[in-house]
A and B are shown apart, each in its own frame.
Chain A
């Protein structure tokens, strides 16, 4: 089927749609950069807001559902065929899905003139379509193990619907639930998806690295009870965050989510293997999740001491690093390569972590005059991270597999 597609289209365009990760990883990395450049310009007062309406909601939505959606699509369309042994989505159907994602972005950017309805419809269509493509194999072929992922995806779709309902002026009776709160919930749901996907990726990466180091005694095992406790605590936090946000009740649960995430790290303390780039990147993702929920917990218990900026530890930090790590790992493996450990890859990971820290921490410590500089620096680091990705891994996504296999 892949060869048929190649002969019809020919050239690079056909190659681009030879496998789900190729177009979506490119789009994700590119879309990580462009809106952030505009957003940083706005935050620093250099340029007008990118759209009319609530610019914060716009920024959050495009990062979570725009970037996150593209990364999710690339990951799912590549990982699901591998986990469940089903036929991958390639060629025309893949191109159509990509077109849908692009249309959704255009609709958001032009919402000021054409209204929010097209954006709502296209965004929900894209996510729904993606879920429909992976639902069947995840539900039937994976012996229940991957169904948790499906529940998470469904929740993300429902929250997206709620976000547009609120954005369009709808009011959910009794809740102070605005677009921004909805987007915070979505970030939380993404961290749950990350925890699930993370354990499967780590089983491969960490054990392979242990083998490379010649460590035969130790083995990495992602223990489900530890992960499930963390998922339970995060889920409980997200549920409570809707009716009673910012209260001590929610705060204790956020701290529990932090402790439960730190508890997962028990699986990871296997000595020297932690110093290897990819293992370290995956390990730091968990730390960022823990720090994120920890600072949210302190914020709730102290009545806003740390400020909401600390939520960037989850979005910029955990989500950003997890996305970049998946893009880097899958981008190399699925083009037939082994994982390279170059300075540019290390620098790209480090840049994302620093971007999250500069965005979150100065708000706690520094006088407000310096916070603007931190915002600018954070944006610069973030674009550097994904820029390095486009330079090092980008060309691989546009070239055939080096081992001559299809895909």
Chain B
């Protein structure tokens, strides 16, 4: 039904539509540059200086090494949120009682600021990988849990009966009836959770670990190196932008094309 050329065309069209965003980002860089002209490089290094510092970090290999350490921690925490949060949430959603009992718990967990978790994690795990991973997991699990629970709660009984009337087996019912529905609830939550993990992990590292992007930021602060600070920020934001718009957004579009009007 769908030609491969069409897929390629759609991908190119998607990438091309990014020029508008690039234009506004470049205008932001101009504004940043203006700030540099007004306040000088000590307060606000120019975009080129920050990019230069980024290039230096890249040349030393420091950037890749620290980014990898951070990436590992963020993804480990995120993986816990995706697997446990989604699984437990789906199960809780199937039972009215469990859903009722879990809802206030989710509200409480979502209400605790990440910085409070970091302090607790420091007491429990010390300056190890455990602190950032725990902090990421505990702040993102409630998000995926709540979304999966909501998805499971809203499963359509009519569709379930239709599937039974056509004598669909349990596996087909799971893959074709339940899973797409729950995914449509859970996927946006995963994207939010990933963004959250990325921010929380840097914060946790800043306070707890000897390596990672957060530690790099802490070092730049101690050295009063504003250009390097901005370079780290660029690296963090850049990685997230790439992950979100090159990886997750296309997956999301593909999974949810049955909802949009253009496909």
Binding site for B on A (CB under 8 A): 226, 229-230, 233, 236, 248-249, 252-253, 255-257, 259-260, 262-263, 265-266, 269, 271, 301
Contact = CB atoms under 8 A, between A and B. Distances in A.
12 contacts: A248-B47, A249-B37, A252-B30, A253-B26, A255-B26, A257-B23, A259-B19, A260-B23, A263-B22, A269-B12, A269-B13, A269-B16
Contacts of B20: 226, 229, 259-260, 263, 266
B27 interface: yes
Main SS at interface, chain A:
helix
A383 B15 CA distance: 38
A265 B26 CA distance: 18
B48 interface: yes
A253 B32 CA distance: 11
Interface residues of B, number: 20
Given A259-B26, A266-B13, A248 B19 contact: no
Interface of B: 9, 12-13, 16-17, 19-20, 22-24, 26-27, 29-30, 33-34, 37, 46-48
Contacts of A230: 23
A248 B12 CA distance: 30
B74 to A, nearest CB: 30
A189 B37 CA distance: 27
The 7 A-B residue pairs whose C-beta atoms are closest, nearest first, are: A256-B26, A259-B23, A263-B19, A252-B30, A260-B23, A259-B22, A263-B20
A249 B34 contact: yes
Nearest to B22: A259
Nearest to A226: B20
B16 A256 contact: no
Contacts of B22: 259, 263
B47 A252 contact: yes
A242 B16 CA distance: 32
Contact of A256 (B9, B12, B27): B27
Given A256-B27, A260-B23, A248 B33 contact: yes
Given A253-B26, A262-B19, A263-B23, 4 more contacts: A229-B24, A233-B23, A248-B46, A249-B33
B30 A260 contact: no
